[in-house]
Amino acid sequence: MCIAIYKPEDKKISKKVLKRCYDANPDGAGFMFAEDKELHLHKGYFNFDEFYKEYKPHEKKQTLIHFRIKTHGKLNKKNCHPFLVNNSLGFIHNGIISGYGDDKLSDTIQFNEAILKKIVAKHGNMGLFDDPMVELIENVIGYSKLVFLDRHGNFNIMNEEKGHWYNGVWYSNDSHKERQTTFDYYKGRNWNHSDVWQGNKKQDTLSLGAKAPESSSLASGDFVELKEDYVLGDGDQTIYLKRGDWFEIKSIEGDTCTLVDSDLHKQSIVYPNIKCSDLEDWSDKSNDIQEVTEWDQGFYKGK
């Protein structure tokens, strides 16, 4: 999933909201701001308190903030956001860019090396702010979002409309919001009625001896993969989705989801009415932190 955040100057994000973002995306945090015509980049926090201690003195500044969930690349400081295109331009990313990334480096790092740095080397920093180039990159990255900040405080959000503004701050998805805990129906027991659990309180009475169902961890913005093959539509409009294909959850409606496909070189395609029970969290959260090295020491100064 990850979450990318653009916070304008003098806007404030509460510690509670930042902690919520970290808890939903716990695989490395970082932030960046421009001051005195220099970029200051802090990254590689694998503990919220350490992140917040460093962030707190800068909380009123114009800032890019990122909380990561590992997809491609190792779980280490090097793969944490933000990244520098050059010493005067940096960015954060939410999503997965198809065709990039491997078991060592994230798709974001490889996209930066293969595309962004080459564009800037030829056209300058403002090449990533020009409308034709923005449109071209947005078509390539699908449902992903990129947020750029230069040393003068100029910023640009690619696919801005695929995120949202809330209290004057832009978020790439909903993982900053308080989650509404939902439950699947308990399988293997009989229910008295259409029993639904909400948090720790039940709306109705369970059959004698029944156990509370397990909590669903899915939320808008999560990356998931299909547990089963899917056939959508019929005739010429039939679409086949294969087991193991991955998507981003755009929204959740009861026990179904609307998914977004962001394949390379295609416009984003939306698939509604996919059963939540047929989805599995795509993010790899099982690995321990690897190689949390001294790489770049969490502080950059660009000129």
25-69 tens-digit pLDDT: 999 999 999 999 999 999 999 999 999 999 999 999 999 999 999
Same-domain check for residues 253 and 105: no
Query: In angstroms, rounded to a whole number, what is the distance separating the alpha carbons of residues 210 and 270?
Result: 38
The predicted structure's pLDDT at residue 5: 98
Chain-wide mean pLDDT for the chain? 80
In terms of pLDDT, which residue wins out, 253 or 217? 253
Task: For 241-270, give one letter per residue: b (16+ CB within 10 A) or e.
Answer: beeebbbbbbebeeebbbbbbbeeeeebee
Same-domain check for residues 275 and 127: no
For residue 285, pLDDT over 70 is answered with no
> Domain of 137: which CATH number?
3.60.20.10
The predicted structure's pLDDT at residue 9: 97
Adjacent-strand bridge partners of 158 = 146
The predicted structure's pLDDT at residue 231: 77
The predicted structure's pLDDT at residue 302: 41
Element (H, E) at 143: none
Sheet bearing 155-158, strands edge to edge: 83-86, 89-94, 145-150, 155-158
The predicted structure's pLDDT at residue 216: 55
For residue 292, pLDDT over 70 is answered with no
Same-domain check for residues 159 and 255: no
The predicted structure's pLDDT at residue 211: 33
95 burial level (CB within 10 Å; 0-12, 13-18, 19+): buried
Query: In angstroms, rounded to a whole number, what is the distance separating the alpha carbons of residues 242 and 229?
Result: 5
210 found inside a domain:
no
Same-domain check for residues 277 and 294: no
189 found inside a domain:
no
Element (H, E) at 17: helix 15-24
Percent of the chain exceeding pLDDT 90 equals: 54
Same-domain check for residues 31 and 78: yes
The predicted structure's pLDDT at residue 112: 97
* Number of Cβ within a 10 Å radius of residue 288: 6
The predicted structure's pLDDT at residue 1: 63
Same-domain check for residues 240 and 292: no
Same-domain check for residues 110 and 90: yes
* Number of Cβ within a 10 Å radius of residue 68: 29
197 found inside a domain:
no
Same-domain check for residues 293 and 278: no
pTM of the prediction?
A: 0.68
Same-domain check for residues 170 and 228: no
**Residues of the domain holding 296:** 3-177+288-301
* Residue with token string 């990850």: 2
In terms of pLDDT, which residue wins out, 246 or 141? 141
Domain count, the chain: 2
The predicted structure's pLDDT at residue 249: 85
Confidence of residue 267 (pLDDT cuts 50, 70, 90): low
